[in-house]
Structure 1
Amino acid sequence: MKVTRVKTIGMALIMLSAFNVARSEEQSGAYTLRTVAGTQLDYRKLFLSFDGDRVSGFFDNPFTQPASNDPDANPTCRFFLTGKLSSAGEVKLDTWYPTERGKADETGASVALKKRSDGTWIATLSGALPNCDVPTIATGDFLKLDTPQPWRVINYVAVPKSILYSAPADSSRTKAYLVRLDPVAVLETRSSWSRIDYLGKGGGLVRWVKSSDLSVRLGQ
């Protein structure tokens, strides 16, 4: 009986280890969103962060084409995503966008991602997307990793003005700053500081901010 129990525990540990290895293979970074094989759709960007089984993201399509019947229109679509990576390797995400302080966030469709053998993710959409004048993700769209990044979590600025620092010290203050709702990817935290990658222009602007400037909803 003891031998059987040891074997059972051993198998459980092996299965858990395999699951953790599988999860660690999922890569944070900027993903290209496509609908037709080999065709890249302009402007659509999906930033995803995998941290264990926790997944966070930001979708940005700021330059959708004006409607043909309204040449002055310039609909946009931006929202955040949060969810989990299942033991089966599927991702289920909720979509939402922060609104004014004191008001409930705008929530929308759920998005499921299923990984194919070629490494791409197929999206299934259920409902309408939040903060979007036009539907810019549809069931059947697929995602492919474009630029891997060591992001821990995707968050946003929760204060009116967040000063950028070149190092985690008050003496390293710069003249640059971010404003409320600006999306960022957190690379690391150190005491009361967070090193962030600003996603507003596709990433690449890495600076330090006060951790208290970021939304507590997504945490670190």
Structure 2
Amino acid sequence: MRGTALGLAALLAACGAAAAEPAARSGTYDSLTLAVSGDAVTGVFAEQRGAADAGSPQFACVFLLRGTLAGDRAKVETWFPDEPERIPGDLAFTPDGAALTLAEDHGGCSMTTGTMVGTPYALSRRAAAVPDGWIGVGLVTAERTAFRPEPSPAPARAPYLVRLDPVAVLERRDAWVRVRYQGEKTPVIGWLPAADLAVVTP
């Protein structure tokens, strides 16, 4: 009887530990947008300080990310679009979100986020719901790009994104990409020309 009780206690403890383990999942983690597909993870980190239209200097910490998951952790490489330099790092999913550590900081990060070297940079997950259908991430590289309801010329009046805005990629079709942008109030979903983005998929 005592052995059965101890076995049951051990089983319950193991189940509790498993339930408490963080899950690697797609989502927005503060300034980091992550897409998880199988054991692959892709991401875009984008944070800016200062308003250019207010005349104050503007700094940006922006980079793309790709890695392979082993449980809730991944060795990743990070880079800025069209630049050959790669900075390695570690990504870990946590009960509250995620944590990112890099071998060295990207340019501009010390003026925005602070360092990601040495101590894991904690990121909180914004939404509880697990998003469906994220196949990758993207970063707007055009100065401005307008949303379309279908792959076609942009309407006269349409919501738009600007350079260095991050998006989650939902679908690719020829020279078009269907994306989701996490706006301040509600997400915006639509089609953008692939040429206007740097896209990272597994």
Shift, 1:190, TM fit: 3.6
Q: 1:75 to 1:136 in 2, by over 3 A?
A: farther
CA contact (8 A) 2:135 2:171 kept: yes
CA distance in 1, matches of 2:32, 2:186: 12
- Aligned twin of 1:149: 131
Q: Of 113, 117, 125, which residue of structure 1 is paired with 2:91?
A: 113
CA distance in 1, matches of 2:185, 2:29: 11
Shift, 1:166, TM fit: 1.9
Secondary structure at the counterpart of residue 93 of structure 1: strand
- Aligned twin of 2:42: 56
Q: Which amino acid aligns with 1:131?
A: G
CA distance in 1, matches of 2:72, 2:44: 20
Shift, 1:84, TM fit: 1.4
- Aligned twin of 1:209: 192
Please give the per-residue CA displacement for 1:158-216, whole angstroms capped at 9, x wherever unaligned.
4454332122344x63433444443322112244432112357587122211234333x
CA contact (8 A) 1:78 1:132 kept: yes
**What percentage of aligned pairs have identical amino acids?**
27
Q: 1:92 to 1:82 in 2, by over 3 A?
A: same
- Aligned twin of 1:28: 26
Shift, 1:88, TM fit: 4.3
Q: 1:61 to 1:95 in 2, by over 3 A?
A: same
Shift, 1:142, TM fit: 2.7
Any residues of structure 2 matched to 1:56-135 within 5 Å, and which?
A: 56-63=42-49, 76-98=59-81, 105=83, 107=85, 109-116=87-94, 118=95, 120-134=97-111
Please give the per-residue CA displacement for 1:72-100, whole angstroms capped at 9, x wherever unaligned.
975633212322123344212223223xx
Q: How many residue pairs are counted as aligned between the two chains?
A: 169
CA distance in 1, matches of 2:103, 2:172: 35
- Aligned twin of 1:12: none
Q: Whose relative contact order is higher, 1 or 2, with alpha carbons under 8 Å and at least 6 apart?
A: 2
Alignment gaps of 5+ in structure 2: 1-22
- Aligned twin of 1:198: 181
Secondary structure at the counterpart of residue 114 of structure 2: coil
Alignment gaps of 5+ in structure 1: 1-24, 33-44, 65-71, 99-103
CA contact (8 A) 2:25 2:36 kept: yes
Q: 1:178 to 1:122 in 2, by over 3 A?
A: closer
- TM-score, normalised to structure 1's length? 0.59
CA distance in 2, matches of 1:212, 1:87: 33
Q: Which amino acid aligns with 1:54?
A: A
CA distance in 1, matches of 2:152, 2:107: 37
- TM-score, normalised to structure 2's length? 0.63
RMSD, aligned CA: 3.4
Q: Of 108, 114, 120, which residue of structure 2 is paired with 1:140?
A: 120
CA distance in 1, matches of 2:150, 2:47: 31
CA contact (8 A) 2:46 2:61 kept: yes
CA distance in 2, matches of 1:164, 1:213: 11
